[in-house]
Structure 1
Amino acid sequence: MKPTEIPLGQAPTFAAETIPTPTYGPGGSSTAIFSTTIAAPPATCLAVALDTSTYPSWGQWIPRAVVETPAPASALDAVPAALAPMLPTDKDKRAGLLLLGAQFYFEVHMDPDSASSRKTYLEVTRLEEFVRDADGGGGGEKKGIRVAWKTQGDPWHVRAERVQEFVDDGKGGCEYYNYETFHGALAWAIRRFVAGQLSNGLRLWMEGLKKEAEAKAAAAAALPTAA
């Protein structure tokens, strides 16, 4: 399956076929997917996903993210042009961003109503602009911006890489596509035993990020412009 085959408006679920990811390529045991529309520009949406300081305000599934090893200074040079103005200028705040090469962990609440959580250790592997074929390749091209992160190291039992793409819809908003492919000897167990919890968590992520990004876009639109 190709990322472009994820239908718009797809609720969190497992795809019929796995989707290749930047680091691990094709293969794997399963791929979790979802998509939605967001009334905010792609860069605004991605800025929300990258800024760990905002997670407590919208991340019911993952209310806390901690950057243990900040991205190298060179990562700022690789930030997509559309995203750069959205990033904080304060050095300390930038240390909490999920830029290319940053190593971090999520406190994941598989049961969002419980205080219990587990840590998932990740590393940002991609942060880039791209062009997506529209309408399966027959309707021109759409510009987008994406981030990907993978589990740290290369564990034999379960490893995964998640890709989030924000595609300009040409109307001031974006189409948001997510896919995460699981590899490893025990990766099959994710779909069999925690599919419901994972799908619910991804739904909370999708809805929370959408709400936060749309609020930021509305606030920016309400600011007075220079005469």
Structure 2
Amino acid sequence: MSADEMLKELLNIQDIVFTIKKFTPAGIVIEVETEEMILAVKGTSSTAGWITTRVHNKSIAIEPYYPPSVIVLKGTTIYHVSDSRNRWEIMRCGLKPTGGGNTSLNRTYPERLHLAQNLSAAFEFIYFQTRPNGSLRPRIVDKLDLYEVTVPEGYTFYQDSHFQGGIWTETTISTAAVRRIDVREWRPHYDYLYPPPDLEKTLSSLMVNVP
């Protein structure tokens, strides 16, 4: 069911009142007035083959089980961000889809392997994960690993409804296609785009004191 059709289904729920916060082919976020309305949205979307990925206060995010697919050609370089404590498992077994429910976005979803289509998107995701006011549970940049993935043949990818430049697949990517990027390769570029708080203050101070 398309997003337009799903929205019509939501409008048909008896006595529902909601505000649309986000509307894309890959997902819908609305704000309702009561807990009963949240339950009604969950039921209606589930019947239509959509899943609820986040409920926060009276805001609910839903998306099709399979959002629009994204064409990623064999040999394309994409990226994955993971906690450094997963390093040994990734280098031994590859990148595996995992279920959601305890993420920085507080999302719940079936088993998926989340990736970034380019380095800029990967850096933006790292920034979201680590900025104090962005993530619900801020993480530390030094404890994150960045992986380069060379897309094998025969993989299907789908658009991530919550992350611009994000995609996901249901298929494990073997170690042969995965390389952990040394932090010395990517961290200077990341710090240039997203200066650490202390460096940002220093740079601002220098700019103010320029004669």
TM bucket (normalised to shorter chain) is under 0.3
Q: TM-score, normalised by structure 1?
A: 0.24
Q: TM-score, normalised by structure 2?
A: 0.25
If each structure's strand is expressed as a fraction of its own residues, which one has the higher value?
Answer: 1
Which of 1 and 2 has higher RCO (CA within 8 Å, sep 6+)? 1
